[in-house]
Amino acid sequence: MIPAAATSAGPAGLGTSRTMRAGVLEVAYYEAGPARGPAVLLLHGFPYDVHSYVDVAPELAAAGLRIIVPYLRGHGPTRFADPATARSGQQAALGADVIELLDALGLPRAVLAGYDWGARAANVVAALWPERCAGLVSVNSYLIQDISVAGRPLRPDLEAGFWYFHYFATERGMRGLTANRRDIAEVIWRRNPPDWDFADTLLDRTARAFFNEDYVDVVIHSYRHRLGLAPGDPSYEELERQLARQPAITVPTITLDGEADGNFPATDGSASAAHLTGPREHLRVPHAGHNLPQECPAAFAAAVLDLALPDPTARPQPNRSS
């Protein structure tokens, strides 16, 4: 049974927006598919929002899955319940938010699928709470941060692509993000997937999620914390200690690399094999960039289906005649 929740009109393709108290957050999310279907959480990244799944979610719902697409902390209508709560963007907080949402929804476990921040949150849950993760779809493989090596430089061309890491480490960068939320996202979008010819209206739709009152604080903290430049929220200290050990992920996993990702060159998956010790399939997706579920929704949806409904004969066939 779907719990009672506040509702509001949602954007086309994602149905109805709901809000629910989940831990420290009032989480805004979209839901589709049968209430008794196998549960799937679709988790977005930065600087993106739930519209990354505008094509994926309906396809999965039509196959009989219960789909939940939440706005992450600091994005869209999601709000902190207490003004005194630290506006942390650290990886432990993102993972804990997923557990709190599963608890609030009454879901013992779900397939977790995401990219960027969303994949990192899913990785955290899969590693620390494997009993809650029925399967993992992760773009760019193992994404639990090893903050102890954050000071090691990357190749110069990759460092150039991560300019915003360094920009956000400064007060000037914080003021810049406050003043230029959409424009900073546009610069990142155009490099992350150089083959993706998106319309301005698509970016405008997503950029509305960046005008959350906590967006700047959460984003700035996320990038400063991962570089070892800001302390974490003490509430997540024990979780961060566990993550510092780079725990292995043992749940069934499909990892995806986009072959047109401007910042994350596609790999054969071998570099992350030691961290992904359960059943794992690694796929390269042609013409896909960093926002893989929006750029190549069919590939992303297929990966989710392979974990959530591994027997293809058991999948309802969506009506494609209309």
pLDDT band for position 16 (50/70/90)?
low
User: What values do phi and psi take at 148, rounded to 5?
Assistant: -65, -20
pLDDT band for position 66 (50/70/90)?
very high
pLDDT of 217 reads 98
User: What values do phi and psi take at 117, rounded to 5?
Assistant: -55, -40
- Strand 66-70 to 6-9 pairing: unpaired
Average pLDDT over residues 20-44: 97
- What's the first-to-final CA gap in the chain, in angstroms? 30
Q: Is 137 a domain residue?
A: yes
3-state helix, strand, coil in the chain (%, to 5): 40, 20, 40
Q: Is 320 a domain residue?
A: no
Q: Is 318 a domain residue?
A: no
pLDDT tens figures, 96-139? 999 999 999 999 999 999 999 999 999 999 999 999 999 999 99
pLDDT of 310 reads 87
Q: Could you tell me the two tokens for 63? A: 């196959």
pLDDT of 4 reads 36
Cβ-based neighbour number of residue 227 at 10 Å = 16
Taking a C-beta distance cutoff of 8 angstroms, is the pair 168, 211 a contact?
no
pLDDT of 17 reads 85
Q: Is 83 a domain residue?
A: yes
Three-state secondary structure call for residue 67: strand
- C-alpha–C-alpha distance, residues 85 and 80, integer Å: 7
Q: Could you tell me the two tokens for 281? A: 């399939």
Q: Which amino acid is at 214?
A: D
Q: Is 84 a domain residue?
A: yes
Look up the CATH number of the domain holding residue 123: 3.40.50.1820
pLDDT of 10 reads 47
Range of the domain at 187: 6-313
Q: Which residues of 25-38 are buried (b: 16+ CB within 10 A; e: fewer)?
A: bebbbbbbbeeebb
Average pLDDT over residues 205-217: 97
Radius of gyration of the chain (CA): 18
pLDDT tens figures, 236-261? 999 999 999 999 999 999 999 999 99
pLDDT of 5 reads 39
Percent of the chain residues topping a pLDDT of 70: 93
Q: Could you tell me the two tokens for 292? A: 């893989």
Max mean pLDDT range (11-15, 129-133, 192-196)? 129-133
DSSP letters along 81-100, please? SSTTS-----HHHHHHHHHH
Predicted TM-score (pTM) of this structure: 0.94
Q: Is 1 a domain residue?
A: no
- C-alpha–C-alpha distance, residues 80 and 43, integer Å: 18
Q: Could you tell me the two tokens for 289? A: 């960039």
The answer, yes or no, to whether residue 7 has pLDDT greater than 50, is no
The answer, yes or no, to whether residue 179 has pLDDT greater than 50, is yes
The answer, yes or no, to whether residue 199 has pLDDT greater than 80, is yes
Specify the number of domains making up the chain. Answer: 1
pLDDT of 1 reads 29
- Strand 110-114 to 253-258 pairing: unpaired
Taking a C-beta distance cutoff of 8 angstroms, is the pair 30, 14 a contact?
yes
pLDDT band for position 317 (50/70/90)?
low
The answer, yes or no, to whether residue 292 has pLDDT greater than 50, is yes
For 76-85, 259-268, 313-322, which range has the lowest pLDDT when averaged over its residues? 313-322
Q: Is 214 a domain residue?
A: yes
Q: Is 319 a domain residue?
A: no
The answer, yes or no, to whether residue 60 has pLDDT greater than 50, is yes
∠ CA 291-294-295, nearest 5°, is 75
The answer, yes or no, to whether residue 12 has pLDDT greater than 60, is no
- C-alpha–C-alpha distance, residues 229 and 85, integer Å: 20
Indicate the average pLDDT of the chain.
93
